[in-house]
Amino acid sequence: MADNNKTKDKYNNDASQLFNFAQGSYLERSSRPIYAIIFLLPFIVFYELGTIFINTDVLNQTQVRVVAFVWLQNMLEYIGFTGKWVWFAPALAVVLILFALQLTSRKKWRFELSDAFPMVAECILLAVPLIVFSLFLNSSTAGQNDFGGYENSAIKFHCNSQIVSSCSATSANEPADWQTEINQPKSNYLLANIVTAIGAGIYEELVFRLILICLLMLLFHNVIGCSHRNAVIFSVLVSAALFSAHHHIIFLNGQFGQTAPFNWTEFGFRTAAGIYFAALFAIRGFGITAGTHAFYDIIATVINAMFFQQ
């Protein structure tokens, strides 16, 4: 009986999850960091290969490197990574961080391949509320638009992947021209935007949820002295607001740049999305959260390209 209580306490004290699911259940297994590594590894490889093999002209114009990815590159350069290591180091950082979380969680290392498809289905289903919410916001504000183009249509998705791709940067040293008009067929950029969508799902969640929320929790709880409950609330709200603001104004290559005109509806949507992703992160872990973010961006990118863009 004492051993059983110790085992129970071991999992109840695991700070990586808000809820402790029944041991061995799908919900418990899929929230493990080792599951996040294996589940996200194909996405990481696809993103890396996509940014290497996409047509150079398209790559340079869409700036397919996600800003959060470039931030990680810059940080790793600062601590000593050089050359080709800088290109692949952010992907390695994701794996190593999750590996460390798996070690500290003391959870089982076993991965059941049969869980892969349910995880994909879960991520897609969890992306649906954001798509519906985006449609609702746009339909409710459609009457305020004075122009009839697709940019102001009633059914324009707040697609993080497209916005991120317009404010990300390549490995070039010169500042990106964030406001450049790209006058080429949309088919040339669909794959680039899908690649960027996947990168946004992984690296924005790493920066704004896994890293930023942990740092904010330390600030509010350990430094300022807020209660745990208030620290969680403040951390989620601040991280969500910064996540949203990041899609309008970013700091890159030593300077600030405006990626899109400020709009309260879009800012509010992305803030709500940030809160939603934070809740998913607390309940379902990093793998499902990053997958949901990526699939939302992919779905929105494809629908925009097929139906709502010239």
229: buried, middle or exposed (CB in 10 Å: 19+, 13-18, 0-12)? Answer: exposed
Q: In the structure, what pLDDT confidence band is assigned to residue 180 with cuts at 50, 70 and 90? A: very low
* pLDDT tens figures, 148-166: 332 333 333 444 433 232 2
pLDDT at residue number 264: 79
E strand or H helix at 77: helix 67-78
pLDDT at residue number 39: 96
Please, what sign has the CA dihedral across residues 194, 199, 202, 205? negative
* pLDDT tens figures, 219-234: 998 999 898 889 889 9
pLDDT at residue number 280: 93
Name which residue leads in pLDDT, 300 or 147. 300
Tell me which of 90-94, 202-206, 208-212 is least confident: 90-94
Name which residue leads in pLDDT, 170 or 110. 110
| 83 DSSP assignment | T
Backbone phi and psi for residue 113, each to the nearest 5 degrees, phi listed first: -60, -30
pLDDT at residue number 245: 84
Name which residue leads in pLDDT, 52 or 105. 105
Tell me which of 111-115, 156-160, 235-239, 261-265 is least confident: 156-160
* pLDDT tens figures, 279-294: 999 899 999 999 999 9
Name which residue leads in pLDDT, 186 or 280. 280
User: Is this structure's pTM higher than 0.95?
Assistant: no
Mean pLDDT of the chain: 74
β-pairing, 249-252 vs 255-258, is antiparallel
Q: In the structure, what pLDDT confidence band is assigned to residue 202 with cuts at 50, 70 and 90? A: very high
**Residues of the chain with pLDDT > 90: what percent?**
32
On the question of pLDDT at 57 being above 70, the answer is no
Name which residue leads in pLDDT, 276 or 79. 276
Write the CB contacts of 198 (distance below 8 Å, at least 6 apart in sequence).
Answer: 43, 46, 47, 50, 294, 297, 298
Distance CA 145, CA 152 (A): 6
* pLDDT tens figures, 4-16: 444 444 444 444 4
Name which residue leads in pLDDT, 34 or 232. 34
Q: In the structure, what pLDDT confidence band is assigned to residue 194 with cuts at 50, 70 and 90? A: confident
